[in-house]
Structure 1
Amino acid sequence: MISHQFRTPLAIADSALQRLIRRGNRADAQEITDRATRARGAISGLTRLVESTLDAARIEAGEVGTRRERCDLAPILAEVCDEQREATPDARIRVIVRNHAQALCDPAYVEQVLKNLVSNAVTYAPGGSEISVTLDLQCQSLHCEVANGGPPIPPSDRARLFERNFRGANSTGAPGTGVGLFIARTLARMQGGDLVLLPGGGQTVFRLTLPQAEGATP
């Protein structure tokens, strides 16, 4: 599976560059820009695949540590959503912050988890539908829920969704190595939190939970 995922972006980049070579001096500036942009996009995708695979290997080898500090999740969440809007201008992302309570967490790892959840929501949401991201405080824990109205995840897939290298039936044709949710849940648990898929309903909802910082108030 990983071999296939790596070959695809390499084939795209190779094809774009071969066409430029064959065209030679006949290629105008716009064609050069278009094909070079396509090649760079494929290489960027390959870089992300390599990084996610290495991250998963480091986690399983116990080479990833974490630091925990008081952290306001609202600005991190806003930045993640802004970056996703830039990457996918057609995405409709609504952010709901019910309070600004501080979590006890590693901000870099929280950002990585949120990027995974928001990116997945955009990837699997039906075209034109809204993705909602809600930050709330419940029972001394901060909850961040990322929801989209995509097709229901089959029960057989739900049970294995956080396994390393597992890709569900609805991921056909979507890029990835199947390690994103595995990494995200592992990082959440390393910080004393968790990442779960909420039951059923008309939406797909992932909930990231992190402990509230001691003495922090909404």
Structure 2
Amino acid sequence: MPTASSSGQPGRRLAAWALIFALAHLVHVASSTVRTLWLVAALAPLLGRSGRRAALSAAAAAGLLVLGLARVPRRLGTALWATSAAALAWLATAARARESASEAALRQAEQRLREHEAYLLGASHELRSPLSKATMVLEYLLSSADEANRAIGQAALFELHRLMVTLENMLELARIRSGHMAVNRHEVDVVDLVRQRVHAAEGDEAGHVLALDSPAEPTTLRTDPARLAQVIDNLLSNAIKYSPEETEVRVRVAATPSTVTIAVCDRGQGIAPEDRERIFEQYYRASNGRQVSGVGLGLFITRAPVTVLGGR
């Protein structure tokens, strides 16, 4: 803070400085987004030339936007002090009202999002039961179907499977947003689980050939089988969606004493280096894959359970 010179009036200069910072604090407290301070005309006669420069420097250093500093006759000073103080009080009140309105709108939006997620969870649970029953009935009918009907039934089963994957993704998205991702870990034979998911993904109309490379012996892992199955389903669905018809999609399972690696490989167009991290973002789609239908949720939803399960 500058010191008053002997040629001025120290008391009035100090009072002027105090008012500058008091008004700045008033605006700052009213709203963190408001950083505007009027250095009003009344300060000109109270502060000398060096004092006015110091005031401008202090305001700029504090991150305040200086809108102006005018020189006026001393006789107008009192009126301008009152006008400027009233203007700043109005600005502070308006800023506080705007901030309160923004907070209310945010709370309302969050409440609507919670209601939407609750509806999504409820609707998804209601849909899951009939879809599961339809899948079981179709699998039973396929067990005794002739060759001609088997191909038709297998295609229908694939579409049911794809619908179940979409439904599970909707549920998972709601869980991710709400922060409720329960994990139920126990010993799982990963090879057997992967084999089941590969079998469930067979029979798409595009004629993809699914193959599995895995250890001959059981490969156990303490994990959540439902979440791991969802990850595999999403990876297989992506591979089938983005690879040419009648090409191979190969799943590889490899194990070491400390890790199990699951890889899904296809003959698709690949992923550009600049997209490799961003494809896991919500709603992001790689530039070379936007001609295929989708909304960009599959890999985002896939990464979340992998992270929760301690994988990468």
TM-score, normalised with respect to structure 2: 0.45
Question: Partner amino acid for 2:247?
Answer: S
Q: Which moved more, 1:45-54 or 1:167-176?
A: 45-54
Q: 170, 176, 181: which is aligned to 1:64?
A: 181
Alignment partner of 1:133 is 2:251: yes
Gap change, CA 1:48 and 1:62, over 3 Å in 2: same
Mark the CA change 1:109 to 1:47 in structure 2 (over 3 Å): closer, same or farther: closer
1:49-96, Cα deviation, whole Å (9 max, x unpaired): 565244213213211211111100112111111111134471111101
CA RMSD of superposed structures (Å)? 2.6
Question: Residue 173 of structure 1 corresponds to which residue in structure 2?
Answer: 291
Moved more, 49-58 or 136-145: 49-58
Which of 151, 159, 166 is the equivalent residue of 2:269?
151
Is the CA contact 2:165–2:234 (under 8 Å) kept in the aligned structure 1?
Answer: no
List gaps (5 residues or longer) in structure 1.
1-40, 195-218
Matched, 1:184 2:289: no
Rate the CA distance shift 1:136–1:47 in 2: closer, same or farther, 3 A.
closer
Distance 1:160 1:117 in 2: 16
Q: Does structure 1 residue 160 correspond to structure 2 residue 278?
A: yes
Confirm or deny that 1:55 pairs with 2:172. yes
Separation in structure 2 between the aligned mates of residue 181 and residue 60 of structure 1, nearest angstrom: 15
8 Å contact 2:231–2:306 — kept in the other structure? Answer: yes
1:96 aligns with 2:213: yes
Q: With the length of structure 1 as denominator, give the TM-score of the two structures.
A: 0.63
- How has the CA–CA distance of structure 1 residues 58 and 173 changed in structure 2, closer, same or farther, with 3 Å as cutoff? same
| 1:91 maps to amino acid | H
How many residues get paired? 154
Q: Compare the two structures and name the one with the higher strand fraction.
A: 1
* In 2: Cα distance, 1:138 partner to 1:44 partner: 31
Higher relative contact order (CA 8 A, sep 6+): 1
Q: 2:240 aligns with which of 111, 122, 138?
A: 122
Q: Tell me, in whole angstroms, the C-alpha distance in 2 between the residues paired with 1:43 and 1:137.
A: 32
Bigger share in helix? 2
SS in 2 for 1:144: strand
User: Which segment is superposed worse, 134-143 or 44-53?
Assistant: 44-53
State the 4+ residue runs in structure 1 displaced beyond 3 angstroms: 41-51
Alignment partner of 2:252: what SS? strand
Q: Unaligned regions of 5+ residues in structure 2, if any?
A: 1-157
Identity fraction in percent: 28
| Structure-2 change in CA distance of 1:79 and 1:88 (3 Å) | farther
| SS of the residue 1:103 aligns to | strand
